[in-house]
Structure 1
Amino acid sequence: MLSPVLNKLYIYNCPKIVLLDEHHHHPLISLEINRCENLESIRSIQGLTYLESLEIILCPNLLGIPDLHSQCHSLSRLQINHCDKITFLPSGFDHLAVVNSLSLGDFSDKLHSFLSLHGIEKMKNHLHSLELNGLYHWESIPEEIKHLNVLNSLQICRFGMKELPLWLTNMSSIRDIGFYCCDELDTEAVLRGAPKQVDVISINGGEVFIRKSDG
């Protein structure tokens, strides 16, 4: 049972934790789980109906993320990074309509491509920042991204694609786009395929500034 006055919880480098389970109602608004190397299961966070920020990072033995339906009206920030055994997104992901910052990947290297982002179109009027961490044998980014009408920042890391998809060029809301450790991409391919309205393009740590035209 969590303290009823606690609103932020940070669990860092706790190798003895194997299971987390919080199904009792609690007004926690921020939960971060980081570097818990033996954590295998987060059974439930259904009691955390006020949760606004959830970050799960560097938990290499975690097999899955719990149902997020209870957080669909409160969660505005979701980060799931470097969890090497995850092969599916949590149930309820397609109902997170108010998320404005999303960071996902990398996941299991047994996957042939990035996990499907089916349902992300429901975030289209709120999601402003998206970061995807991939693997070098993944040759494309999810096409569902094209539905995000107000996306301002898109950061792509460690994908094996050689060209940018045509639909990305038409995403006029993007102002900041970055590609990191995408070894098959060169500067010309990025400049050719990036949206024309961007202010800043970052390529493997270097920045290319794009000035908006007056027209």
Structure 2
Amino acid sequence: MISASSGRFGVLLRWLGLTLVVLLALQLTSVILIGSWEDPTFQQLLVERLISQAPMALVGLLLILLGCRLDVSHEGRTPLRWVVTVVAAVLAIGLAVAVPVTVSADGSITAQTEQSLATKRGQLEMAKQQSTNPQVIEQLVRQAEQAGQVPPQATREQKQQAARGFIDRQLQQMQDQLKQEERSSVLALNQRRFNGTASAVVLAVAFTLVALAAVL
């Protein structure tokens, strides 16, 4: 009675595991059908999909192996266990290949981000230099007078002080935006490294162990 119950449970586990593996195949197929292998954007999208969905397939393969272990009537290296070995090996190789792709993409994105940040740092430094230029302050005063943004009874010093205050607020806003973008850049880089490259390495090792476990 216990053997029959274990056999039914093993069948259930195998079907659940196969379902998860098929779901991964469907997820990858949906990306493969819309892209070109020579396109770096397509490669990055495929790698991201593989890394994000691979844990699902890992659980599926483990469920299949567990189901095989519970099925006492199919001891030894069954065809299903060989299928698990092949699928796990293919995924391990795919994830190993994905590592240099993620590293290359990280370098390209990081270079673009650094170039953008360098441009904004240069703009901030230029704005700081212009803020000390008396001509810029006089121009702001004239613009404020023409727009009616200063009271008529204000003295020249008060107008200049208001112009300097406006410049200081603009500079502070630019500094805050730059700091926010720098923090976002570091956060995005860490996410790509740990959720992308590091995850691919760990998953590649995990699938290799599953492939070995399936044939032992």
Report TM bin, short chain.
under 0.3
Q: Which has the higher strand share?
A: 1
TM-score scaled to structure 2, two decimals?
Answer: 0.21
> Which structure shows the higher helix fraction?
2
TM-score, length-scaled by structure 1: 0.21
Structure with more relative contact order (C-alpha pairs < 8 Å, separation 6 or more): 2
Larger Rg: 2
